[in-house]
Amino acid sequence: MLKGKTAVVTGSTSGIGLGCARAFAAEGANVVINGLGDAAEIEATRAAIEADYGVTCVYSPANMLNAEEIEGMIQMAEKDLGSVDILVNNAGIQHVSPVEEFPIGKWDAIIAINLSSAFHAIRAAVPGMKQRGWGRIINTASAHALVASPYKSAYVAAKHGIAGLTKTVALEVAQDGITVNAICPGYVWTPLVEAQIPDTMKARNLTEEEVKRDVLLKAQPTKEFVTIEQVAGYAAFLCSDTASAITGSILPIDGGWTAQ
């Protein structure tokens, strides 16, 4: 489906981003992965994508706090792989704190990485997409693009901003063969979430099952985690011809969270 296309996925050395990168590679796309982690592990991840799917996969160390590095990543992909046809803005960080105690540096970093980095990448990628008459921009938002939770002022503000950015750019490029959508996962079962469980069990004197059901999944009526594969499959679908009329949409995949 995507043979001959190139996908750039930010925040893709693990979790949802890596799932998306592998899903695109499975459809024949060359892939640029980006993110943090141990250099040897990142290289193993990159090589595995090439070996598993027979595509080209390159790693960009671009810092999502730096607009010039983000633009450079897009330029590198266009130069070395020929184009940027698919852009997934997935990089993100989180901090939880009451608003009056929220560290200013954390606010600035969350807005920069979760929101501004998407603007910089989109700004750099759209001209090439327009020239080729085809593009898919997918922003990883969150259920928090639609509803709020306490103590997450920066994250919720950034994800609401991603929703607005998605709609605005979708309107601007609607006649250029480019779609722009935001995927809004609820709680996804990732290594990052799994690692939080032991400390939560101890702090709240709960069993593992109680932590999952009554803490992490309290807001999700299904009481089941969204999987990385489900989110990645959603992203791949949005790149298909079948989805070409879907644009400017804020698309929940949240086990019913935002239906409440």
The 3-state secondary structure of 55-66 reads CCEEEECCCCCC
Q: Which residues of the chain have pLDDT under 50?
A: none
Tens of pLDDT, residue by residue over 166-223, are 999 999 999 999 999 999 999 998 877 887 788 788 878 999 999 888 888 999 999 9
Which pLDDT belongs to residue 196?
Answer: 76
Residue type, 95: H
Domain map (residue ranges) of the chain: 6-188+227-259, 189-225
Which pLDDT belongs to residue 201?
Answer: 86
Which pLDDT belongs to residue 176?
Answer: 98
pTM of the model: 0.95
CA 193 to centroid of chain Cα atoms? 16
Residue from 53, 155, 187, 234 carrying the catalytic annotation: 155
Which pLDDT belongs to residue 203?
Answer: 79
CA distance 195 to 19: 18
Which pLDDT belongs to residue 111?
Answer: 98
CA distance 18 to 238: 17
Contact, 51 vs 28, CB < 8 A?
Answer: no
Q: Which CATH superfamily is domain 6-188+227-259 in?
A: NAD(P)-binding Rossmann-like Domain (3.40.50.720)
Catalytic: 155? yes
Which pLDDT belongs to residue 121?
Answer: 98
CA distance 34 to 210: 35
